[in-house]
Amino acid sequence: MPSQADINNRMLKALTADDFDLLAKHLEAVELPGNFLMAEPYKALDFVYFPESGIGSVMAVAATGQMAEAGMFGREGFVPTATIIGDDVVPYLIEIHVPGTGYRVPIEAMRQATMKSPTLQVPMIKYMHVFATQVAYTSLANAKYDVEQRLARWILMCHDRLGSDEMAITHEYIALMLGVRRPSVTTSLHILEGKRLIRSSRGSVMVRDRRGLEALAASSYGVPELEFERLLGKT
């Protein structure tokens, strides 16, 4: 049974000691490999996941099979967020893209814990608000910002979650997440390299100038991150 002091996930860290104890015996350590599916549209859910590392995405899926990233998560959150309000299906896909580790809790165990303690839901409901804010700013970025700015924002969000300047991220993954063609990603990466903001190689992006990336991303980045700090503290 893990100790709360050793936990890296911010949702589990935010629980009171008594609330954490309600979940502790149900926490199962799991590997989260690349392409691991945590949820598929309208398929019954079995677990709530609390990543310790890595990056995953909530993907909106069209009937034609086309997909776009609606939001990103890592060690700061939990998925699927709908489970905290008692739902056991979601209309979207949740997938791990940068491998990591985490914990999972059976949905029924989560329900029982929330019935025993109403305070257990509080940080998770706050996170749902933060995630909704992130989705709103993804919409803003997609509608009003150019590809270079959206790429800068996305790299910053990955940097926040991975805690490393060098990130194992492919051009294909970036193209899928931004909803653009791969040549557009390659061109935009070259532009950011020319500005000495990043260094890009096959399968890797290194952050060289975070402040420069923040300046380029402008107002497309920062509000969801500040909301997290306001409601849940610094990551």
The residue ranges of every structural domain in the chain are 4-124, 145-232
| Contact in structure between 34 and 12 (CB atoms under 8 Å) | no
| pLDDT < 70: residue spans in the chain | 235
Which CATH class name applies to 145-232?
mainly alpha
Q: Residue 213, Cβ neighbours under 10 Å: how many?
A: 23
- With a CB cutoff of 8 Å and minimum separation 6, the contacts of 87 are 80
* Torsion of Cα atoms, 28 then 42 then 56 then 34, to 10°: 80
CATH of domain 4-124: 2.60.120.10
* Identity at 222, one-letter amino acid code: G
pLDDT attached to residue 138: 94
pLDDT attached to residue 235: 58
72 bridge partner residues? 57
Tokens of 23: 């979940």
**Eight-state DSSP code of residue 218:** G
Tokens of 55: 């990056």
